[in-house]
Structure 1
Amino acid sequence: MPVIAVQPADIPSTATGWLATVSCDENVPGACHKITNPAGEEAKFRTVADYSHVNYDDPIRNWGQPGTAHCHMFFGNTNTNAFSTYASMRTRANANANGTPKRAASTIAGGPYNATGYWFPCIIKPNAFGDGKAYAVKVDEIIVYYVENPATLAAAASRLPRGLRYIFGTNMDDPRDTIFKAKIATANAQPSTSGRYAYNGNGFMGWICYNNAKSAVIPSVTGDYHPGFTTSAGADPWGGACTADMWLQAAFNAPACYDGTNLWSPGGYKHLRPRVTDNVATGSIIEGCPNGWFKLPQLTATLWFKHQGFSDYGTWYASSDAMATMAAQAIDPLDPDMRPGESMHTDWMNGWDDTVLTQWQDFCIGLSGGDMHTCDSSLISTTQALVGGYSGVNAPDLTRSPQVVQTPEFNTTARNLMVQLPANPAGPFTTHAGH
């Protein structure tokens, strides 16, 4: 991809102590394993994060308009708000990270090195404690990957540009992906490409239930994943098998095809597209991008929520559900309502320190043309890891945050483990807004 002229200037990190010195043998399977079979392994950088805050802002769809979005829960940059920019996120991360015992301005491993903002619709439990008030269910753990799977795809990948921001998961302007599916159908209608391309999903993989140890999947009535907290008939998708104190996980794959020009677009979607499954003429199957679009390392995220069984999660809904239903019905008036939780999506706003961003893209994804690695535990090389994602390394602000195991875990049993929502946000809610 050519250099993007509109990239904002780099703002280096000034805080120290958020990179740990480690020792990892790339020739031993594990945290920094060097990939020797690109067709059978994934090149990845894996990191972890904690909950940060809740508000009614969205600096992608409603920039400069505080209180006009549906409720969002944020992780990563603790300062993300309606006025956030790459410069503000980097600058505030530096300011808040200096000095002890101040906490870093990020709840993700690396502190000020990763001032990226991530957010998603609040998961709301109405009348949670019989007082008529609504509460948001706090996300207990977040795992973030930047990945090329299989690693052979990394050969065509380009670097993540500074200042990029986008949304992935259910498209709030076209929840059924009607427009994108039509483009694929048009391509498949050409004589030379008949049936070649297949829709690869909107990026929201759905909800999955795990046992308490996170070691086994509890299948839903239709498979591992289910689009919402209930079936279309309002029943339990797990048939009573997803019991109290198990985990519900929301899983996402970001669009990885970039137009190479725009760091933002109205609504947050149009400058990126999902990869499509390409059944190429040789018979092999790859995930490809349209001509003139550029592959980026694919961001994937998993959000983990504790619950008390269907009597609990069966009452939950996403703050974006009603808006998504209206958008779907605007395209097709006969479109049924979204199931509770089906409108899930995640927003991403780049706030990485450019030096660290370049380092893990080169080492883990192999964008420098060198070896690729499976980077777990927030490793960015065989000798360095981001603090907060590597076991046993203390943060310079005297905490193990970002990423500590919550004690007690966030759940829906007590007010202090949830977030009470304001009765009347600033509003009114809007669907798009420009800069």
Structure 2
Amino acid sequence: MHVARFGQKMIVRRRPDRSSQIDQTDGTRAWAALDGGEAHEGHTPDEPGRSRLLRGFVLVTAFAAVSIALVALLGTDPLERSAEAPVPNSIDADGHASANGLLPVGEASAPAATERTDHGSATDRPATSNVRPVTDPESVAFIESDFDVEEFLVETESLPASSATEPSGNFRLICQFSHLAYDDPIVHPGEAGRSHLHMFFGNTAADASSDYDRLRTSGESTCQGGSLNRSAYWAPAVIDQDGDVRVPDFISVYYKGPGHGVDGELTDVVALPAGLRMIAGQRLDAPLAESPHDWYCELDQEKSDTIPDCGPDEHVGVVLPFPTCWNGIELDSPDHRSHVAEPVRDEASGQLSCPSTHPTALPQLTVGIWFSHDGDSSGWHLASDRSPGGPEFENGASFHSDWFGAWDPEIQRRWTELCINDLLNCEGGELGDGTRLSDIGERVGPSTMTAPSRP
């Protein structure tokens, strides 16, 4: 990576040597084979439309599957790197957020201060205290659902196949776009309008004031399983050449294990604790730092730090893994990152292990966001690529994502124990017990939206 200066702007450029090619000889069948081989071939969806949703699972999991294979063969990890806005006012019968009839979130007025971007970047707003108090995990109790969880489950014809030979335990589901907001409940809690523009999926009521209690007790969900998964997921909005916001076709969400113990041995993961929140991807306050995100064209699968120019008939996607090791003490940290960490590799043995400072293995969350388009996608950029007062990133290079967990605790326990720790290949929201999360259907609506005005 190097930095070029033009006038008063600093443009962060990525090195061009990170791309690699994955041979795709048989479309999505090749990706299905990478993610479990014969167990996925000839899969017949239980309902119309599920086959298209499952296409998302194999797209986002392929990179992880290739990484596992290379670790096993070579002892090296290809993922290692050096060093309101309006919200939808309705959800249709399939769980889709309406793109019309937008309503404002919270107060319409902006904060008295003038703009500041999130994730620690410098701006022209005066600094204010915006760090949510660090919380003792033992002081935050899981909140049970106030409805019958079985209403959001569907029986399956068979149990998921084992993936113990990889070894890997997998739980996958699909989410849809929910709403846009200049909010970030992790970095700017309680400060509506303080962030760059984000696209939210999952909890439909997520805004600047969201915390664990509010997420668990309010809002619908645009993820499979509906209100069983009121977690909030968000990422910077994608802006096209015309200045419009690109709306993703779907979001693939992937939780996996096993974990890495401090001794380098594979270990069970613990259920994600109540109130945990995480940020992964590019740091806006450290533009020279590496980020584990990768942009893809759906068909050729060439990886890039920046948004590629993809063909008009293929999806443009970005995939980002989150940290998997937790310090077991904090649900958040002042920089919103240091309470979690990546496994480290022992130079002598090649084994990955959680560092002693972060000994608790969590399920690894990976998100994949996929867009259709009808033109040159290389002209797209992220809202966070153009931060007032901060560095200007190449298109897509500033990608990052936030997660604030709010799963129904019993459903989370099931997929953690049965899918991940029992090393099953649970796809389509399967829970490993003969049930799966209810469908949300495919998104219906325009592929672009007008960027909302800042409140």
Quickly name the TM-score band, shorter chain normalised: 0.5 to 0.7
User: Secondary structure of the equivalent of 2:141?
Assistant: coil
User: Secondary structure of the equivalent of 1:218?
Assistant: coil
Deviations 1:298-349 (A, max 9, x none): 0011110112242xx22211011133993xx6xxxxxxx4211111111100
Once superposed, what is the RMSD of the aligned Cα atoms?
2.3
CA contact (8 A) 1:228 1:341 kept: yes
The within-5 A match list for 1:14-413 is 14-16=147-149, 17-25=151-159, 32-37=160-165, 40-93=166-219, 105-126=220-241, 128=242, 134-148=243-257, 155-177=267-289, 202-204=291-293, 206-210=294-298, 217-218=299-300, 224-229=302-307, 242-279=310-347, 281=348, 283=349, 285-293=350-358, 294-310=360-376, 313-323=377-387, 326=390, 337-366=392-421, 371-388=422-439, 402=440, 404-407=441-444
Whole-angstrom distance in 1 between the partners of 2:352 and 2:283: 20
Change (3 A) 1:111 1:419: same
Q: What is the one-letter code of the residue matched to 1:11?
A: E
Change (3 A) 1:323 1:272: farther
Question: 1:15: how far off?
Answer: 4.1
CA contact (8 A) 2:259 2:363 kept: no
Whole-angstrom distance in 2 between the partners of 1:268 and 1:109: 27
Whole-angstrom distance in 2 between the partners of 1:11 and 1:406: 29
TM-score (norm 1): 0.68
Gaps of 5+ in 2: 1-135
Deviations 1:343-383 (A, max 9, x none): 111110001011111111000111xxxx3211111011231
CA contact (8 A) 1:154 1:365 kept: no
Whole-angstrom distance in 1 between the partners of 2:411 and 2:224: 12
Aligned to 1:100: none
CA contact (8 A) 1:171 1:269 kept: no
Aligned to 1:395: none
User: Secondary structure of the equivalent of 1:5?
Assistant: helix
Whole-angstrom distance in 2 between the partners of 1:315 and 1:166: 29
Whole-angstrom distance in 2 between the partners of 1:244 and 1:149: 38
Whole-angstrom distance in 2 between the partners of 1:340 and 1:175: 13
- Structure with bigger RCO (C-alpha 8 Å, 6+ apart): 1
Instruction: Give me the identity figure in percent.
Output: 29
Q: What is the one-letter code of the residue matched to 1:139?
A: P
CA contact (8 A) 2:260 2:353 kept: no
Question: 1:156: how far off?
Answer: 4.8
Aligned to 2:43: none
CA contact (8 A) 2:275 2:406 kept: yes
User: Secondary structure of the equivalent of 1:320?
Assistant: helix
Whole-angstrom distance in 1 between the partners of 2:205 and 2:183: 11
Aligned to 2:36: none
Q: What is the one-letter code of the residue matched to 2:172?
A: R
Question: 1:266: how far off?
Answer: 2.8
TM-score (norm 2): 0.65
CA contact (8 A) 1:12 1:355 kept: no
User: Secondary structure of the equivalent of 2:412?
Assistant: helix
Q: What is the one-letter code of the residue matched to 1:162?
A: A
Change (3 A) 1:166 1:138: same
Question: 1:41: how far off?
Answer: 3.4
Change (3 A) 1:150 1:62: closer
User: Secondary structure of the equivalent of 1:250?
Assistant: strand
Whole-angstrom distance in 2 between the partners of 1:73 and 1:296: 25
For this pair of structures, how many residues does the alignment match?
315
